[in-house]
Structure 1
Amino acid sequence: MNPENLEGAQTLEAFTMKPTYSEVRSKIMLRHPREEVKKLLKLAIDDEDAEFIGEHERWQITCADVQKRIEEIHAFNAANPDTQKVLPQLPKEPVLDLSQRQACYEQQIVDVDFEISTQSKPLSIEYDDEALVALIYPLTHAYSDEEVAQVKRARFKQEREDTVAAIKVEVDGLTFDGDELAQNRMSRAVLVMDEGSTLSWVLADNSTANVTKSQLIAACKAAILTQTQLWTEEV
């Protein structure tokens, strides 16, 4: 076979080869890009669907033939009560097995807040046959309303503490840290400062500026007010 014919034969073979789920699984194991895997999976699904449609059409034709035969035998048995013929059985309708394609779906773990779950559910998987995704629902435990409320309150307090730690206040164009440590530092500083004096202070952006006593007092008040508003919020 000359090179041109060989190349043509190889091209024809590649064109006529049917994609398989085994190939898809191999690409998944070899960590091929998900889009590449999905493209091949769609081809394999299309091929399986086409085969199933053909199988289902053949089943319908067979059913029609068997049904016709059943009607003929019914007529014969009615006319010949002493010579009865056995009725044939209709073939079972074929069912498309989705397990192979679903085993190739992209797996996505559903985000579940385990600490405030109120229902006990086993590990389960839902298949999205349109998106080609397997949604995995983790095992959950049922907590009482009281337990859930305790968790929510603890989270609220932690979030509030984190928010306090991130307090920033601005005075005269200068941005000060306003967390509790900074408030304590400002309070101590103003106690020893004289009116009109300045103090080198590290600002929120880590730059240094000379600040006055009145600026520190204003920054400290603003930080305390902000923290008070946060701490008086209800869960």
Structure 2
Amino acid sequence: MTTGEGPQRADGWAAAVRQRLGLGRLLPLGGPADGAWIAERAAVAVLRGAVAEQEQEQGVVLGRLRIAVAAPDQAPEPEVEPPPSALPPGPLRIEADVSALSGRPLPVAADALRSALFTAAGDWLGLVVAEVDVRVTELLDAPPGRTPPSPAEARGARATEDAGRAAAGVLGVVALTRALGHPVHTGPGRVRVELATDPAHRALDVARAVRGAVTAALEGHPSVAVLVTAVVERDRVTGLD
């Protein structure tokens, strides 16, 4: 039986799946016309790696890192149908909590980390960031100990249809993924492709190329959306054997 609550129930189920799998929010890459999103988990992993040098130089440890739309009520509507419960394609706000070594000039450390996050978000991923808020939440008496982060991993899926094969052949695509189910979701006049990108290529540029390749490969040139669920090296993809 179908009820008026159907879409809301479906969106709630999708959000619960994302939470269970640890993907976090689905953040917009680029602007309203780009039709691309990235899992918050993937974006945060890239940003943490990008600021590691600044952490060492400034004597700080990056703690909680949160990314959200800066002004949700003012965000434009996407021109491509988004994944369920994805955030709208408005400028983003990054909030970072840090622990800092006492005796260091805190404004200098915060500014350095803020600049590194801002640059990495745009140059490494393609996130449109309006502001970065760095808050010192703890002072440390001794230099912080550091544990190297575990390399990111992704569970891959083989391409079995035209859309998947077209996406998998784009430079910068490491593998199709299936964090939310099948790597290619289709509907009337639309397609959504889920994939992992290589860290050597900006995620937004890869997503744009995938949209072009999939659109050209399919009859009727459907609307194409791309969801980046991981940014990983090729040898960190499992499940393809």
* Bucket of the pairwise TM-score, normalised by the shorter protein: under 0.3
Q: Of Structure 1 and Structure 2, which has the larger fraction of its residues in helix? A: 1
TM-score, length-normalised on structure 1?
A: 0.19
Larger radius of gyration: 1
Q: Of Structure 1 and Structure 2, which has the larger fraction of its residues in strand? A: 2
TM-score, length-normalised on structure 2?
A: 0.19
